[in-house]
Structure 1
């Protein structure tokens, strides 16, 4: 009987020890650090925001923005997600806008929607813009609706597999178009390739 109790106690203790060792209590981590979860076949949030920030920095480095000490006005034109995943448009676009606006050489227009019509992100600013356009469509005051550039952002996905190993390549493309003539004055792209057979922590 004593031997049985001892064996049971040891088993319970071992189970508790294993449970304690594998327990991973909730805690805060750096969203840009190396402890975030990395999936092998999905677009992680750090992938999307990092790509948006990197392409924005590339645009800033091109010297295209800001002329004669005045910031360029940019309208976010199209956001195209050609992947199998639901990727938050606002989170990606906001990363671009924050990066560009902080640099001081660009301002993003909030009163034009994805169809090129008045009624963008800011309801109050869009309402004011509509009230300042007369019945013929010309601006009564200096027109706040005409941007210098339109920005487009596109995400593509390509999958491959060899045995148990799966590989996914995400391509991020960003273009800046001069609204006066339709010319693409700047373009760049970034690729992220992920490979593995299971998700992991860290990257």
Structure 2
């Protein structure tokens, strides 16, 4: 076999290997078969969904008057106490989105751990002569929050024989900012078992 033929065969083989290992799309509903010991999309979805269902069934929400205005909610700190890099926004936004969809709550980003910087910037235009002052936002229009949502995600690893057990705790708390009292809290547990060779970070 001459060098040109050999080179062509090698290139073809490398091309086939590259194609066979190319990524592919997975439907979220079918992606559980690719789960790991770490937290994934399904875990966050379950934690958020279970927490909101607990909240909506709570005595606090049931006692809210149908005629009263939706409660103004702010997002406080959600601590990631796991060995993984987790965007806690994914959890809090899913929870607050479902809360808003219930019609009982509205979310403010004017204050809290997740603020929208443009809210303050828009108000700074009041002192800028380059802006038509008739179009700037007047003072006293922001809605103060009545409730604060905070939480914590905890991870605990335990070896059980040849297996590794990883427990995750999703803790969420809703506080009345007027009196500081907890009006609702919930804990969702997710437990995974795998090989000791598996890693959860």
What is the TM-score normalised by the length of structure 1? 0.70
Deviations 1:27-65 (Å, cap 9, x if unpaired)?
43332445452113x112321232022212221222534
What's the secondary structure of 2:174's corresponding residue? strand
Work out whether 1:148 is the aligned partner of 2:142.
no
Secondary structure of 1:166's partner? strand
Aligned to 1:39: 36
Per-residue deviation, 1:91:
1.6
Give the gaps of 5 or more residues in structure 1: 1-18, 115-119, 133-138
1: CA distance, partners of 2:122 / 2:181? 30
Question: Is the Cα–Cα contact under 8 Å of residues 32 and 42 in structure 2 kept in the other structure?
Answer: no
Name the SS for the 2:28 alignment partner: coil
Q: Structure 2 residue aligned with 1:54, among 15, 25, 50?
A: 50
2: distance between equivalents of 1:87 and 1:150? 21
Work out which of the residue numbers 185, 188, 191 in structure 1 matches 2:189. 191
CA RMSD of aligned residues (A): 2.9
**In the aligned structure 1, how far is the partner of 2:169 from the partner of 2:155?**
6
Q: Which has the higher helix share?
A: 2
Unaligned runs of 5+ in 2: 1-15, 127-137
1:15 aligned partner: none
Distance 1:33 1:60, change over 3 A: farther
- CA displacement, residues 59-100 of structure 1 (integer Å, 9 cap, x when unaligned): 122253454341111100111111111111222222112211
Tell me the equivalent position of 2:135: none
Number of equivalenced pairs: 167
